[in-house]
Chain A
Amino acid sequence: MKIPRLLQAILVLAGVYGGFVLVFDVILEQVIPSSLLNMYMFFVVAGTYMVFTFNEESTEEIVAPIKALVEDPSKKMMRNVVFLVVPLFFGWFTFQQMKPSFEAPLELRTIHPAPPSAVKVYGKRYNLLTLENPFRKFEKEDPEKFAELVRQGGAVYIKNCQYCHGDKLDGKGPYAQGLNPVPLNFQDIGTIAQLQEAYLFWRITTGGPGLPKEATPWLSAMPVWENFLSEDEVWKVILFLYDYTGYSPRSWEHE
């Protein structure tokens, strides 16, 4: 059986809408803000309209059942129903749009903003384009010393970072729930695995307040670690992050 074109179009729209709700609200458990959903749906409707009225013939096919509904006397019953439902739907939609909204404003932010070329901390200037972890070389040269450095980094982590980033480094520390934006999950392939150690050095030493504006520095609860940790401690804790998660930092050589 062939599904009428008009029904096809309606099914596509309903399917996409249901898909959004399913993916965001149910699977990701992150209720999609209605303003965003409306914007997406606008493009979907426009796209569907274009596809389904691509040429004269398909336009005709879509319009025919509508025309028949209005003009064909045998469809009177159906017509009455549609004439009632359509205005009601638009009335309801208008009401939904006009009623005052108590949904919190949407705040978009960049999670990994582009770093500056240099950063000034510990009274020195560090060129982020050439900066390297001074302890990284021991990984090959002196594995025993390296293991000890990682251990010291772990101690720094557990005393300072685990409250938020979690002792499993999964961003779910005991206080994570009370923060917005939530702490980063280092086990996720999208965080430290994509970054260079110099980037981490910048993010750790200057913390939330050191972020550029597009990353909402006023919201990020990441402390300015320059105030708490020595330079060596920062490099060691970076070693620990990679060692614990099993990722390697990105480096210039491989690019």
Chain B
Amino acid sequence: MMTFKFIHGLVFLALMAGVFASGPSVAAPGDVENGEKIYMKRCVWCHGEEGEGDGPAGDLLVPPPRDFTSGLYKIKTSPFDEDFPNDDDIFRMISDGMPGTDMPAWKDILKNEQDRWDLVAYLKAFAELEEEPGTMVDYGAPVATSVESIAKGQKLFHDGERCSECHGQDGKGDGIKKLKGDNGERTWPRNLTKPWTFRASNDTKDIFTRISTGIPGTQMPSFANPKSKTMLSVEERWHVANYVNSLAKTDKTVRAVNTVVKANRIEGDVPSDPDDPAWDTAELTTFMMVPQIFEKERVFTYTNDTITVSAFYNDKEIAMLLEWDDRTRSIPGDPNIDKIADKVPYEDRVSVQLPVTIPEGTQKPYFINGDTENPVNLLSWRSGTATSPESVSVANATGSENIEERDAANFGLMAKSAYKDGTWRVVMKRPLSTENAQGDLQLVEGRFIPIAFANWDGSNSESGTKHSRTTWYWLLLKPANSAKPYILALIVAGIIFGGLLWWAKAARRNGEV
């Protein structure tokens, strides 16, 4: 009863808050002075004292903080031919932040809505914006998602390379154009299969709005502009939005509970080709990667944020499939890559880190390349250059300064890769046990073995310590199903049933006496 009342109270309060809060954009124009006060405490670090996006963090952030003096905002609902956003748009970005960037959502710390409206007023003052446009994109009659609508959208997406020119055939942002933002900074088309990187969101309405307005300050154009050859009607834009929304890769998203790469046992040979159909039945685990900002030399800008891993093993070998989205296939010396890379690229690379011995207690090697007491094995694959094929390497490390290359052929490491439409898929294969039992991890069934991954995007000038990586997770060679648990369960149930019967019988006999 208590809780019921309590919940009622909450609902009532929330309603009241809604009533009072729903109008400040009209009722209470932002107080620029209060906005400035908050700005100087919370926003100045990135957006700078004069709002030019040149705070101390300035050039370390990709994308760079917005320069408010231009008055251009990426996420707006005003029609494409209005330069400036509506106040609600600015308010929304301050409240909800921009996923995939350093711009956080402020509503949990600036709980008072009026504070956020005051910030809107202050930001607008940087560009001397006054009246908001007050008009919205024409949404027409929204088209609900359906197989037909998605198919129509897919066609429009690829027609004359309308979107795929930049966003790639599969939407992974691997188009072949080199793009720049208005301030000359390098920008990449969004990977549309990764909804967590959308600055607004991947709701169809949001996607519809972005297609209609474009993204000001970047090369993402408006498709509502009748002057454009690639213009789309309102209905067509809904179809495209439904298609883009359907691209989200739900089987390859990071879930905090998934910390184990589960290798399934198979009969016969383990698949050694990335295109082997056996991989369709593997269990996928996706990990988040972060740029190496822990040791010298650090890297702050990175391009690959997740890696998906699956594995199979048999009596002798384990094969691991590593998949990650990479907009560029970095093959140094290949003219195609020189066209899109900023600098002369390095090779793309991925590496798997394993401790040399399975830890008995909780202590593991340091998560970056181990430490003096606890060495690691590093198994790497490199994409090759125009003159040399892809290659593998094995190293033992006791810290980032102590990485000792070894003979990969002797170790028995093999790899095979495939690159298609913005995704690398690399199979690495190694024997479960090696001759050098002191220096190499010997893989055994049923044990939780620490494992970590590192990834280099060569076109992003990543090499050596400049890369992205995961922390320690687990590898488990899943034991094949056995009948033991079933048999034991039957025995226990049988014994208890027998015991009960015996008790009842004994009781009845007593009763008769």
Q: Which residues of A contact B290 (CB under 8 A)?
A: 163, 175, 178-179
Given A167-B104, A213-B363, 15 other A-B contacts at CB below 8 A? A90-B493, A90-B496, A91-B496, A98-B485, A154-B56, A163-B290, A168-B106, A170-B109, A177-B254, A179-B471, A218-B366, A219-B472, A223-B293, A227-B296, A244-B41
- Do B474 and A218 touch across chains, with their CB atoms under 8 A apart? no
**A94: interface (CB < 8 Å):** yes
- Do A172 and B104 touch across chains, with their CB atoms under 8 A apart? yes
Q: Which residues of A contact B244 (CB under 8 A)?
A: none
- Do A218 and B46 touch across chains, with their CB atoms under 8 A apart? no
- Do A162 and B102 touch across chains, with their CB atoms under 8 A apart? yes
Report Cα–Cα, A166/B102, bound state, in Å. Answer: 8
Partner of A178, one of B60, B104, B288, B362: B288
Q: Which residues of A contact B60 (CB under 8 A)?
A: 159
Report Cα–Cα, A218/B259, bound state, in Å. Answer: 17
Q: Which residues of A contact B484 (CB under 8 A)?
A: 98
Q: Measured between C-beta atoms, what is the minimum distance from B158 to chain A in Å?
A: 32
**A70: interface (CB < 8 Å):** yes
Please judge, given known A-B contacts A90-B493, A100-B478, A102-B262, whether A223 and B288 are in contact too, CB under 8 Å. Answer: no
- Do A100 and B446 touch across chains, with their CB atoms under 8 A apart? yes
* Chain A 89-118 near chain B by CB (<8 Å), digits 1 or 0: 011101100111010110100000000000
Report Cα–Cα, A164/B471, bound state, in Å. Answer: 14
- Do B492 and A90 touch across chains, with their CB atoms under 8 A apart? yes
Binding site for B on A (CB under 8 A): 31, 70-71, 73, 79, 83, 86-88, 90-92, 94-95, 98-100, 102, 104-105, 107, 154-155, 157-159, 162-164, 166-168, 170, 172, 174-175, 177-180, 187, 209, 213, 216-219, 221, 223, 227-228, 244
Please judge, given known A-B contacts A83-B497, A179-B290, whether A158 and B109 are in contact too, CB under 8 Å. Answer: no
Report Cα–Cα, A95/B492, bound state, in Å. Answer: 9
Please judge, given known A-B contacts A178-B471, A218-B366, whether A155 and B489 are in contact too, CB under 8 Å. Answer: no
Please judge, given known A-B contacts A159-B60, A163-B293, A227-B296, whether A105 and B489 are in contact too, CB under 8 Å. Answer: no
Please judge, given known A-B contacts A159-B56, A221-B294, A223-B293, whether A102 and B476 are in contact too, CB under 8 Å. Answer: yes
Please judge, given known A-B contacts A100-B478, A159-B60, whether A71 and B490 are in contact too, CB under 8 Å. Answer: no
Contact-size category for B: 35 or more
Q: Measured between C-beta atoms, what is the minimum distance from B117 to chain A in Å?
A: 19
Please judge, given known A-B contacts A175-B291, A178-B470, whether A167 and B45 are in contact too, CB under 8 Å. Answer: yes
Report Cα–Cα, A71/B254, bound state, in Å. Answer: 57
Which residue of the partner chain A has the closest CB to B482? Answer: A100
Report Cα–Cα, A107/B367, bound state, in Å. Answer: 15
Please judge, given known A-B contacts A162-B102, A223-B294, whether A218 and B493 are in contact too, CB under 8 Å. Answer: no
Which residue of the partner chain A has the closest CB to B105? Answer: A168
- Do B496 and A87 touch across chains, with their CB atoms under 8 A apart? yes
Q: Measured between C-beta atoms, what is the minimum distance from B357 to chain A in Å?
A: 14
Q: Which residues of A contact B363 (CB under 8 A)?
A: 213, 216, 218
